[in-house]
């Protein structure tokens, strides 16, 4: 890990043993991006030779610099609006005279050990000796406003953490209209854009398209990261596969509206931007004030998608997720949602708990419907006190469940309010809405203005009371609609552009306060399934309910797609009833178990109605969870087929970091008669060539055989939704 500045050519080098990231200041004081990729040793060159033609027509160049260096050409490090860089740009600041023309001229730099926190926002962390930061200060020469670019490199990772701070060192009030967290330019456009696409109950499928001249990308204005896309993107060489090729990616530590723009210019140069969606954003900065963007993580692998994903997984586990639970086996839970929906009482919940305890399950989670007078999804959000018609004595119920040996968890949807609620009667003005303008509902509910301190205080007090009084050890934090009519009665007209971002800051603050009060609380994120699955959330919660689609068949692509950036330990995955409630599909109990093993693992069905055979299977699965969860959670993850689970046959593997064991799971969704793929040799990736491994406790083979020839799986793949599991364990020779 190294950060070097070379005075001679005004160049900056960020390096680890695997990559180099190079930028330099050109004659016109513009910070030029030169290179990001496989390590190069190239510190003393004259970088001015690296450029596209500068005498292009219609390419404006700066007056008084004695060069034709047009901002519209060549990779730039952080582009600003209005001075001839006609590509999408990263920064636009409005001044008092009405201009939004912004300049980003190089001013100075600083290098220091460690990394600074970003106040109020999630950010990656590491010991001071384990990372170094470069801060480059740019200046808007019209106003004197400073734009500071932060780059942190880490000893144990190929990730670069980036963020941007604007400091209003001018004596006027300015408005930030656009401030991206990260810009990444390339001289060429030989890339595919790879990104998540989906919808409610079908999130994070992986899409791959070639990029072309023009702007491509996606924007989110929902106030939350959403089911449709993810605040992340990948640019991969068109020939990149799971095992080879250049893969560059970025993800935002942010849970609100964001934008991803990839532009290919007329010279076939590429620019990628990720940050807060400027369409929903502006921020007033008085003289002396500062604003810091969410952090973005930049990841590079020269070895294809699997290696890229492993880098992302490891970084999230070590430098983003803070929960004390992240490296621990989570209590094996049963959630009552698909078992009862809103129809339950304390007796039913205790019956479920008793049966669960008998089967070896470790925690009962009471989902939606325990509060106010909520018998459907039309009422009571905001009234975080017990519905005593359903649960006569909540504390006694939890004590009873605890007495069975089970922990207890509870569902909340903190950010929402029902019109039919006590909270709304008392505080109708706490709702996000535009005065005298029609409001939009989603699932019959409205959204609280989380940017208001009194709202966060109320939620903190009411949730803390429930948690503290009832020995609640886990909460499921849901969010079942997106934001509309984003307006706060607390802010003046010229600051309404701050409301959406202040909402996210309020959500983060509530998390922070709850976790400070209850440091061991296990929080599972959720937003109608995986509608807010992002690295920002993972700073607060170690796991997120991956999708409301609990059909194991569908879950394969959802979970493999999610694994592009996010590790198995973050994916909430449960075994639910068949026919499945979302798809009406029936697949075997065993198949459902094999798929749920690839996430946090749990149950979501009425186990009191299970047959004896099913109960016996649950006992097997509980044992399977205990046997494999450490490996799934802590091992390196390998996707062994291309296309992120969209094909019928998929195999994927978890390999212990010390290569002492591996688990390969092979799944087949549909059966085709005489399908030649039915005879598959399942290869075991990345184990020791010369060591002997025992396969499923039955026979032994050398690592090199398992890696290259594989295990014969002929008997496994016959039929609809079938699977094979291969556990190989190193044995002493
Ligand atoms: C959406 C969640 O994803 C479900 O698991 C469940 O908690 C419901 N909300 C409850 O309303």
Nearest CA owner, ligand 1 atom 11: 368
Give 524's strand partners.
476, 543
**Is any atom of ligand 1 closer than 6 Å to the C-beta of 367?**
yes
3-state secondary structure of 675: coil
Q: Of 316, 298, 364, which is closest to residue 336 (Cα–Cα)?
A: 364
Q: Strand 333-335 vs strand 363-366: parallel, antiparallel, or unpaired?
A: parallel
Q: How far is CA 13 from CA 104, 152, 200, in A?
A: 20, 12, 43
CATH superfamily of 649-731: Golgi alpha-mannosidase II (2.60.40.1180)
Catalytic residue among 26, 85, 478, 551: 478
Residue 65 pLDDT class (50, 70, 90 cuts): confident
Cβ atoms of residues 149 and 167 within 8 Å: no
Structure tokens at 273: 């931007």
Q: How far is CA 154 from CA 116, 233, 315, 536, in A?
A: 13, 21, 10, 19
Burial tier of 34 (Cβ tally within 10 Å: 0-12, 13-18, 19+): buried
3-state secondary structure of 185: strand
Q: Comparing 484 with 732, which gets the higher pLDDT?
A: 484
Give residue-wise pLDDT tens across range 375-391. 999 999 999 999 999 99
Give 668's strand partners.
649, 722
Nearest CA owner, ligand 1 atom 1: 528
Tell me which of 15-24, 352-361, 569-578 is least confident.
15-24
Is 548 one of the annotated active-site residues of the chain?
Answer: yes
- 411 alpha carbon to ligand 1 midpoint, in Å? 9
**Is any atom of ligand 1 closer than 6 Å to the C-beta of 604?**
no
**Is any atom of ligand 1 closer than 6 Å to the C-beta of 652?**
no
Distance CA 672, CA 268 (A): 44
First to last CA, the chain: 38
Mean pLDDT of 438-464: 98
- 675 alpha carbon to ligand 1 midpoint, in Å? 39
Residue 542's pLDDT is 98
Cβ atoms of residues 557 and 508 within 8 Å: no
Q: Quick check: 678 pLDDT over 60? A: no
- 341 alpha carbon to ligand 1 midpoint, in Å? 9
Q: What percent of the chain has pLDDT over 90?
A: 91
Nearest CA owner, ligand 1 atom 9: 528
Structure tokens at 269: 């140069």
Residue 715 pLDDT class (50, 70, 90 cuts): low
Question: Which helix (H) or strand (E) covers residue 234, if one does?
Answer: strand 232-236
622: left (phi over 0), alpha (psi -120 to 50) or beta: alpha
Q: What percent of the chain has pLDDT over 70?
A: 98
Residue 64 pLDDT class (50, 70, 90 cuts): confident
Q: How far is CA 349 from CA 329, 342, 352, 355, 601, in A?
A: 24, 12, 5, 10, 20
Structure tokens at 17: 């043993």
Give residue-wise pLDDT tens across range 652-676. 999 999 999 999 999 989 887 766 6
Cβ atoms of residues 679 and 673 within 8 Å: no
Length of the chain counted residue by residue? 733
Residue 632's pLDDT is 98
Distance CA 543, CA 476 (A): 10
The helices-and-strands tally (H runs, E runs) of the chain is 12, 39
What are the extents of the domains in the chain? 2-319, 333-416+452-478+521-636, 649-731
Residue 717 pLDDT class (50, 70, 90 cuts): low
Q: Of 624, 640, 691, 632, which is closest to residue 656 (Cα–Cα)?
A: 632
Let me know the angle formed at the C-alpha of 87 by 81 and 93, rounded to the nearest 5 degrees: 15
Question: Which helix (H) or strand (E) covers residue 138, if one does?
Answer: strand 131-139
Q: Quick check: 679 pLDDT over 80? A: no
Mean pLDDT score of the chain, rounded to an integer? Answer: 96
- 313 alpha carbon to ligand 1 midpoint, in Å? 26
The top-level CATH class assigned to 2-319 is: mainly beta
Positions of E strands within 313-352? 333-335
Nearest CA owner, ligand 1 atom 4: 528
Give residue-wise pLDDT tens across range 121-142. 999 999 999 999 999 999 999 8
CA-atom Rg of the chain in angstroms? 27
Give 661's strand partners.
729
- Determine the atom of ligand 1 nearest the C-alpha atom of 529: 3
Burial tier of 103 (Cβ tally within 10 Å: 0-12, 13-18, 19+): buried
- 368 alpha carbon to ligand 1 midpoint, in Å? 7
Distance of CA 204 to the CA centre of its chain: 11
Positions of E strands within 577-705? 602-604, 636-639, 649-655, 661-668, 681-682, 692-695, 699-702
Question: Which helix (H) or strand (E) covers residue 111, if one does?
Answer: strand 105-113
Ligand 1: residue of 224, 227, 480 to mutate (most ligand atoms within 8 A of CB) is 480
Q: Of 523, 480, 510, 517, which is closest to residue 365 (Cα–Cα)?
A: 523
**Is any atom of ligand 1 closer than 6 Å to the C-beta of 713?**
no
Mean pLDDT of 724-728: 95
Mean pLDDT of 402-416: 98
Please report how many Cα atoms fall inside a 13 Å half-sphere around the Cα of residue 330, on the Cβ side.
36
- On whether the pTM is more than 0.85, the answer is yes
- 245 alpha carbon to ligand 1 midpoint, in Å? 39
Cβ atoms of residues 548 and 243 within 8 Å: no
SS (H, E, C) 249-272: EEEECCCCCEEEEEEECCCCCEEE
Q: Quick check: 534 pLDDT over 70? A: yes
CATH superfamily of 333-416+452-478+521-636: Aldolase class I (3.20.20.70)
Q: Quick check: 704 pLDDT over 70? A: yes
Give residue-wise pLDDT tens across range 470-479. 999 999 999 9
Mean pLDDT of 429-453: 97
Positions of E strands within 346-472? 363-366, 407-412, 416-418, 445-447
């Amino acid at each position: 890990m190294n950060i070097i500045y070379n005075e001679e050519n005004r160049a900056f080098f960020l390096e680890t043993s695997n990559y180099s990231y190079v930028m330099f200041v050109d004659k016109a004081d513009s910070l030029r991006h030169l290179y990001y990729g496989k390590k190069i040793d190239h510190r003393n060159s004259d970088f001015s030779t690296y450029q596209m033609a500068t005498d292009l027509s219609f390419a404006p160049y700066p007056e008084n610099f004695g060069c034709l260096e047009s901002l519209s050409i060549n990779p730039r490090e952080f582009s600003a609006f209005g001075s001839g860089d006609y590509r999408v740009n990263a920064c636009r600041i409005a001044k008092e005279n009405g201009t939004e023309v912004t300049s980003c001229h190089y001013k100075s730099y600083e290098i220091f050990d460690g990394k600074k926190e970003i106040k109020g926002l999630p950010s990656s962390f590491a010991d001071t000796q384990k990372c170094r930061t470069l801060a480059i200060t740019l200046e808007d020469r019209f106003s004197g406003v400073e734009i500071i670019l932060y780059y942190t490199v880490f000893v144990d990772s190929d990730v670069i953490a980036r963020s941007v701070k604007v400091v209003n060192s001018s004596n006027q009030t300015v408005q930030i209209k656009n401030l991206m967290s990260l810009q990444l330019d390339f001289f060429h456009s030989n890339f595919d854009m790879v990104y998540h696409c989906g919808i409610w109950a079908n999130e994070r499928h992986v899409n791959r398209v070639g990029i072309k001249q023009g702007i491509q990308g996606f924007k989110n204005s929902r106030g939350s990261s959403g089911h449709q896309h993810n605040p992340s993107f990948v640019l991969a060489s068109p020939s990149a596969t799971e095992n080879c090729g250049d893969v560059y990616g970025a993800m935002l530590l942010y849970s609100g509206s964001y934008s991803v723009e990839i532009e290919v210019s007329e010279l076939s140069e590429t620019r990628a931007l990720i940050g807060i969606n400027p369409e929903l954003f502006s921020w007033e900065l008085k003289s002396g004030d500062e604003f810091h963007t969410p952090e973005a993580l930049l990841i590079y692998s020269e070895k294809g998608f699997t290696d890229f994903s492993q880098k992302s997984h490891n970084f999230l586990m070590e430098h983003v997720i803070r929960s004390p639970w992240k490296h621990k086996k989570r209590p094996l839970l049963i959630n009552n949602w698909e078992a009862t929906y809103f129809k339950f009482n304390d007796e039913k919940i205790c019956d479920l708990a008793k049966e669960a305890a008998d089967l070896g399950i470790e925690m009962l989670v009471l989902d939606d419907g325990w509060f106010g007078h909520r018998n459907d999804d039309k009422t009571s959000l905001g009234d975080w006190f017990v519905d005593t018609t359903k649960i006569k004595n909540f504390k006694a119920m939890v004590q009873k469940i605890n007495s069975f040996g089970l922990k207890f968890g509870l569902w909340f949807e903190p950010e929402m309010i029902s019109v039919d609620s006590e909270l709304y009667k008392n505080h109708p003005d706490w709702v996000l809405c535009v005065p005298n303008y029609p409001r939009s509902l989603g699932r019959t509910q409205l959204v609280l203005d989380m940017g208001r301190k009194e709202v966060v205080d109320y939620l903190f007090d009411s949730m803390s009371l429930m948690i503290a009084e009832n020995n609640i050890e886990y909460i499921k934090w849901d969010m079942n609609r997106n934001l509309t009519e984003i307006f706060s009665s607390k802010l003046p007209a010229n600051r309404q552009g701050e409301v959406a971002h202040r909402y996210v800051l309020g959500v983060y603050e509530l998390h922070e306060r709850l976790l400070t009060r209850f440091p061991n609380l296990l929080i599972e994120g959720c937003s109608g399934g995986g509608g807010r699955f992002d690295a920002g959330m993972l700073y607060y919660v170690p796991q997120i309910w991956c999708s409301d689609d609990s059909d194991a068949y569908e879950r394969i692509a959802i979970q493999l797609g999610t694994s592009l950036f996010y590790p198995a330990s973050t994916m909430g995955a449960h075994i639910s009833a068949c026919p499945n409630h979302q798809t009406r599909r029936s697949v075997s109990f065993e198949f459902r178990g094999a798929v749920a093993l690839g996430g946090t693992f749990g149950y979501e069905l009425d186990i009191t109605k299970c047959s004896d055979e099913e109960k016996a299977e649950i006992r097997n699965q509980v044992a399977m969870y205990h046997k494999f969860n450490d490996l799934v959670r802590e091992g390196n993850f390998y996707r062994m087929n291309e296309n992120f689970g969209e094909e019928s046959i998929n195999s994927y593997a978890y390999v212990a970091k010390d290569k002492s064991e591996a688990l390969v799971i092979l799944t087949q969704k549909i059966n085709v008669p005489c399908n030649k793929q039915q005879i598959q040799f399942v290869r075991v990736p990345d184990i020791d060539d010369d060591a002997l491994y025992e396969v499923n406790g039955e026979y032994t083979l050398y690592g090199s055989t398992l890696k290259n020839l594989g295990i014969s799986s002929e008997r496994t793949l016959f039929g609809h939704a079938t699977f094979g599991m291969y556990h190989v364990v190193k044995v002493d020779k």
